[in-house]
């Protein structure tokens, strides 16, 4: 009985942020696609940052949309420093500068402009609902950005783990084990799970080990897309754990 593969996911030969930095701009199709994927992954942390800095809902939306349009137009990755290769650090600094430049402008009138459009395909209404539901008003904008970044990475890793479970030979068992990697619900005792699936406690324990290993592998792969070296992955994991700790 295999819930998820016991083999750790292999690292991408070239990660998305590495592609963008190596290109030095968004002129190549590969770099543009890589940057688009990263931007869609980071819109919510930037939206939270803007809202915590005092922007209203409409202004925050305009800032995020306008910022990503400028990212595509100007090829801002050309200014990226590979020695400080964390995408979130670079992106937040660039967004701060953009927001400052837009302070006295009508960003709504300039949304997108004549720049090549970057379709974010995101639900701002859902983003606002999540912001109101879970973001602490005692957090600084920077702390809110970091926390949302961490929660979104964890959520992405969980979705990939679920997708892997659904294609395994024991998807029902795998769903019952999701609470052990931060999924919904509370984890049941191993004996109860074993009885439910006509297996042994030992088999359940092994399955939990596999699903945790798979989850960690997916999380590392998600993070690896946003840094330039393997050493940076460990630093990001430490930052992630700090970001999700109680404020």
What pLDDT score was predicted for residue 87? Answer: 77
Averaged pLDDT of the chain: 78
Quote the CA–CA distance of 208 and 215 in Å, as a whole number. 10
Percent of the chain with pLDDT over 70: 71
Of 66-70, 90-94, 122-126, 239-243, the range with the lowest mean pLDDT is: 122-126
What pLDDT score was predicted for residue 167? Answer: 92
- 28 within 8 A of 36, measured Cβ to Cβ: no
Kindly calculate the radius of gyration of the chain based on its CA atoms and give it in whole angstroms: 20
Going from N- to C-terminal start, the domains of the chain cover: 16-115+123-244
Beta-carbon-side half-sphere exposure of residue 34 (alpha carbons within 13 Å): 25
Confidence of residue 23 (pLDDT cuts 50, 70, 90): low
Higher pLDDT: 221 or 114? It is 221
At residue 98, does pLDDT exceed 70?
A: yes
C-alpha separations of 52 from 130, 146, 210, 229, 245 in Å: 13, 12, 39, 31, 19
φ, ψ of residue 130 in degrees (nearest 5) = -65, -40
Confidence of residue 35 (pLDDT cuts 50, 70, 90): confident
User: Angle, to 10 degrees, between the axis of helix 201-224 and the axis of helix 230-244?
Assistant: 110
Query: What is residue 36's three-state secondary structure?
Result: helix
What pLDDT score was predicted for residue 11? Answer: 43
What pLDDT score was predicted for residue 13? Answer: 47
C-alpha separations of 159 from 135, 181, 210, 219, 232 in Å: 22, 11, 16, 10, 23
Confidence of residue 29 (pLDDT cuts 50, 70, 90): confident
Confidence of residue 105 (pLDDT cuts 50, 70, 90): low
Instruction: Using the structure block, give the residue that is written with the tokens 């292999």.
Output: 10
At residue 115, does pLDDT exceed 50?
A: no
At residue 89, does pLDDT exceed 60?
A: yes
At residue 156, does pLDDT exceed 80?
A: yes
By residue count, the chain amounts to 247
Task: List, for residues 163-215, the tens digit of each pLDDT value.
Answer: 999 999 889 999 999 999 988 878 889 999 999 999 999 999 999 999 999 99
């Amino acid at each position: 009985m295999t819930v998820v593969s016991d083999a750790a996911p292999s690292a991408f030969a070239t990660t998305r942020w590495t592609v963008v930095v190596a290109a030095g701009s968004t002129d190549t199709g590969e770099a543009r696609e890589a940057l688009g994927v990263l931007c869609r992954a980071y819109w919510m942390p930037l939206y939270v940052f803007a809202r915590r800095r005092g922007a209203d809902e409409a202004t925050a939306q305009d800032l995020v949309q306008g910022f990503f349009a400028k990212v595509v137009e100007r090829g801002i990755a050309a200014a990226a420093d590979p020695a400080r290769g964390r995408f979130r650090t670079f992106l937040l600094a660039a967004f701060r500068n953009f927001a400052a430049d837009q302070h006295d402008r009508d960003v709504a009138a300039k949304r997108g402009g004549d720049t090549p459009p970057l379709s974010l395909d995101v639900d701002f209404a859902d983003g606002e609902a999540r912001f109101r539901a879970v973001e602490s008003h005692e957090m600084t904008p920077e702390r809110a950005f970091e926390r949302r970044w961490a929660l979104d990475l964890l959520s992405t890793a969980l979705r990939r783990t679920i997708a892997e479970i659904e294609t395994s030979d024991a998807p029902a068992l795998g769903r019952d084990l999701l609470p052990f990697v931060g999924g919904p619900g509370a984890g049941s005792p191993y004996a109860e799970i074993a009885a439910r699936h006509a297996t042994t406690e030992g088999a359940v324990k092994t399955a939990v080990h596999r699903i945790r290993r798979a989850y960690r592998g997916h999380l590392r792969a998600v993070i690896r897309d946003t840094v330039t070296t393997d050493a940076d992955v460990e630093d990001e994991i430490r930052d992630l754990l700090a970001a999700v700790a109680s404020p």
